[in-house]
Amino acid sequence: MSLRTATAFIDRQALINNFHVIKALAPQAKILAVLKANAYGHGLERIAKTLIGHDEQADAFGVARIDEALALRAAGVVKPIVLLEGFFDPDDLPILAVNNFQTIIHNHEQLAAITNPDLVIEKPLKVWLKIDTGMHRLGINPDDFDHYYQQLTQSNNVQDDLILMSHMACADEKDNLATTKQIALFEHITKKHTEQRSMANSAGCYAWPQSHYQWLRPGLMLYGVSPMMSPEYSAKHIGIEPVMTLQSSLIAIRTIPSGEAVGYGGAWVSEQETTIGVIAIGYGDGYPRHANNGTPVLINGRKVPLVGRVAMDMITVDLGKNPQDNIGDIATLWGKGLPVEEIAEHAETIPYELLCNITRRVQIEVL
């Protein structure tokens, strides 16, 4: 008997397909592929190399931290890399220059550091100036735009060709007027300037063509997950495919009578005689600890419900009366045939968190 422990299958062809779908939405735009948080749990270096290893390549990569950028350079990735939160310490600026990293500027401290006339760096830095048009997280106040623009364009430490950017807060809701207001404000602030612009995240790529500009910044959509809130805009509807499929094996099957409790705390009680299957995966692998009873698991082509509490190494499912399942059969937790969006809804979380929480002990198989 050969049992599969928790394994995440990474489908590179699905990733390439998703990239083509995004590219087709705005053929003239460049793509900054977002690879932060270990490429949303898919493998930083692996995803980067896939996106530069086919006919249409990503134009740049976006990461959150400088160590992610350095890891890409160490893996031989020479494409432009953008620090999406900017630099955290002025001492990092020479490192950015040496490694040809690009940085976002979103606050006064960063502006003062990069325009410091005493700063000694190998060459001027490429800067993306982030404007807060309504997200109210990172970004400069629109009233301060002219000051930042003048300071950056006059500094010898900054390349001449700034990129102007903003980030949308509600783009996943196709009819939300907040996005329309954000785009209008961004247009108003930047209309006098000839620099390239960027606003579209994954939801912007799909639902807001007026936000496409010269640069797209897709993240979640690259990995085959719908960026939209409404279920009518499913990944299948959009034409994207899951890149990660998480699977494990049935390791035990037992029949229990009506009225028996299953798992820690007896949180689920059978209403009739049924068959319980035990699957070798748990929160120690990144499966959500708070997944509710009824969360679907795909076994032998049918969805069966999670019952009882998720444990560190195991979950239990209700296989029903007289099932044909056997020990060793494969259980799909999410991915092909079972969208991660569906699991996230049952676990009262978001797909981003599920994908990013895959732990080191999960085996990785690259297809």
Rounded Cα distance, 343 and 339, in Å? 7
Residue pair 190/162 in contact (Cβ under 8 Å)? The answer is: no
pLDDT tier for residue 53 given thresholds of 50, 70 and 90? confident
DSSP lists the bridge partners of residue 254 as: 276
- Tens digits of per-residue pLDDT, 142-196? 999 999 999 999 999 999 999 999 999 999 998 899 999 999 999 999 999 999 9
Name the residues annotated as catalytic: 36, 264
Cα distances from 116 to residues 31, 197, 199, in angstroms, run 31, 25, 28
CA distances from 256 to 69, 253, 273, 275 (A): 52, 10, 6, 6
Residue for token digits 């010898």?
Answer: 156
**What integer pLDDT is reported at residue 4 of this predicted model?**
80
Q: How far is CA 230 from the centre of its chain?
A: 18
- What integer pLDDT is reported at residue 315 of this predicted model? 98
Q: Is the pLDDT of residue 55 over 80?
A: no
Q: Quick one: which of 326, 325, 328 has its CA closest to 280? A: 328
* pLDDT digits 0-9 by tens, 254-279: 999 999 999 999 989 999 999 999 99
Q: Which residue has the tokens 């612009």?
A: 197
Task: Using alpha carbons, select from 31, 11, 34, 36 the residue that is nearest to residue 21.
Answer: 31
* DSSP character string of 36-84: HHHHHHT-HHHHHHHHTSSSS--SEEEESSHHHHHHHHHTT--S-EEET
**pLDDT level of residue 2 (50, 70, 90 thresholds):** low
Query: Can you tell me the mean pLDDT for 52-59?
Result: 86
Is there a contact between 249 and 329 (Cβ–Cβ < 8 Å)?
yes
